[in-house]
Amino acid sequence: MDPQPDVIFVIHQIGSGADGGIQSISELIAHTPMLKKQIITNIETAASARWARHGTVTIWPSQEDLHGARGRGVRHRFRQIAYRLRNNLRMFLLLRATGARVVHCNDRRAFLSVAFGARLAGARVILNVRDTLHVGSRSTGLWRLSLRLSSLFLVLSQEMKAAWMKALLPTSDEPDQRRKFAYLYSIVDTEICQPVTGAARADLRRALGMPEAAFALSYVARVDHKKAQLAFIQQALPGLVATIPSLSVHFVGDFQPGTDPYCAECAKAVEALGLGHVVHFEGYSPTPAHWYAASDIVALASVREGLPRAVIEGLACGASVVSFDVCSVREILEGHDCGRAVPSGDYDAFVKAVVALYQDEAERARLAGHGVEIARQLFRSDVAGRAYSDIIRELSGRKGLGALS
């Protein structure tokens, strides 16, 4: 173990293959070589093996939820509290032993597991928020407490920063709390996420099983309620199929209909609509960039998001992107004229946006080309890596935060 890491990352993994938050923090860990890092996580995965190339990885089991968890009850809650108390104590002792000054929590579950112990040990705590609140959420009180306990409330875009500041009023309007808010765009690895053209693209489509003459739409996300594949199947696909005869739809992400009721509902909906010849559930793919690059359209119709990786990686891979205007989407797609954002929940508008691009190949190509440029400008590893390293230096030195706004 490094006797004095510059930053200790605490990362809760839900066990899902397709997890944008884990991909984003992995990029940040990989592209800050100037920092000494220790990583604490709850399970061993391919991601934790990757982190081990950049710092010491330690497993602290927790009782936080995993993807597809069922049957939570009173016993689960008591065990969760017990694990949080234990891990807060472990963090207190670790910080006293190493002298580390900054702890980065990758979401609120990680934050609640260690933040109290970290603050008692005198460390500064980053709460890295990667999503927005549920509609009608009742947990704003706990979020306001989390804001007060954190040293930096770090989000993923300007739009997301504004949304959280509004959600956490009146606490977020206090000068000492307001200054904690900052944003840092996620990193996209443009060596992996890049366009594929010509014969190479035709070969890639064949390898992925995309029909040669198909108009291919990919929806890259684990299949669950938040990503809203079921509503997309029921409310958007009939209109798309009726207008685009060559349509081929590929859902790429964790798909377990045998054990997950939501996945089973999606499969049944496809069968009920008679769309089995159009819709393909591809399951988790370790190479989502292949799907982005091979597709004519990348679609996303989530209920809520922070900064969707399907959008930013799709842009980098040269796909035309159509998405509901969940948080950050208008900032990226409309703010930089590189895709189409439609009102959330308006499936008719979604269908019209996809059909318009299907019918206008020149506009589709323009958006795709411009999207690649925008992704290379906004999601650069060197810029984000330097900005984050500056944050850690400032927090370690107890200086005022000036690296981000």
Lookup: tokens for 44: 């061993």
Q: Are residues 234 and 347 in the same domain?
A: yes
- Whether residues 85 and 131 share a domain: the answer is yes
Provide CB contacts within 8 A for 365, sequence distance 6+: none
My answer on whether 353 and 331 are in the same domain is: yes
H-state helical runs in 42-73: 46-51
At residue 404, the pLDDT reads: 47
Looking at the fold, whether 290 and 182 belong to one and the same domain comes out as no
Q: Report yes or no on 353 lying in a domain.
A: yes
Q: Say how far apart CA 265 and CA 259 lie, in whole Å.
A: 11
Note the pLDDT tens digit of each residue in 310-346. Answer: 999 999 999 999 999 999 999 999 999 999 999 999 9
Q: Is residue 401 situated within a structural domain?
A: no
Does any domain span residue 403?
no
**Cβ neighbours for 171, distance < 8 A, ≥ 6 positions apart:** 144, 147, 148, 177
Same domain flag for 170 and 254: no
- The domain in which residue 241 lies consists of 198-378
Q: For residue 197, count CB atoms less than 10 angstroms from its CB and return exposed for 0-12, middle for 13-18, buried for 19 or more.
A: exposed
Residue 64 lies in a domain: yes
Supply the pLDDT for residue 403: 42
Residue 402 pLDDT class (50, 70, 90 cuts)? very low
The one-letter amino acid code at 275 reads L
**DSSP calls for 111-139:** HHHHHHHHHHTT-EEEEE--S-PPTT-S-
Please check whether residue 222 is in contact with residue 16, taking contact to mean a CB–CB distance below 8 angstroms.
yes
CATH number at 258 reads: 3.40.50.2000
Name the average pLDDT for the chain. Answer: 93
Confidence of residue 267 (pLDDT cuts 50, 70, 90): very high
Map residue 103 onto helix, strand or coil. strand
Band the pLDDT of 69: cuts 50, 70, 90.
low
User: 389 and 355: one domain?
Assistant: no
- Identify the pLDDT of residue 48: 93
For 171-209, how does the pLDDT look when each residue is reduced to its tens digit (9 = 90+)?
A: 999 999 999 999 999 999 999 999 999 999 999 999 999
Whether residues 168 and 274 share a domain: the answer is no
Same domain, 164 and 215: no
| Residues 74, 215 share a domain | no
Report the domain count for the chain: 2
Does residue 30 lie in a domain region?
yes
Please state whether beta strands 37-41 and 247-252 pair in parallel, antiparallel, or not at all (unpaired): unpaired
- Find the mean pLDDT for residues 284-309: 96
Angle CA 297–303–309, to nearest 5? 50
Give the tens place of pLDDT for each residue, 46-59. 999 999 999 999 99
Q: Do 51 and 156 belong together in one domain?
A: yes
Q: Could you tell me if 241 and 228 lie in one domain?
A: yes
Position 405 in a domain: no
Residue 112 belongs to a domain: yes
Assigned domain for 2 exists: no
Is 218 in the same domain as 108?
no
In this predicted structure, the answer to whether residue 400 has a pLDDT above a threshold of 60 is: no
Write the pLDDT tens digit of every residue in 346-368.
999 999 999 999 999 999 999 99
Express as a percent the part of the chain with pLDDT over 90.
86
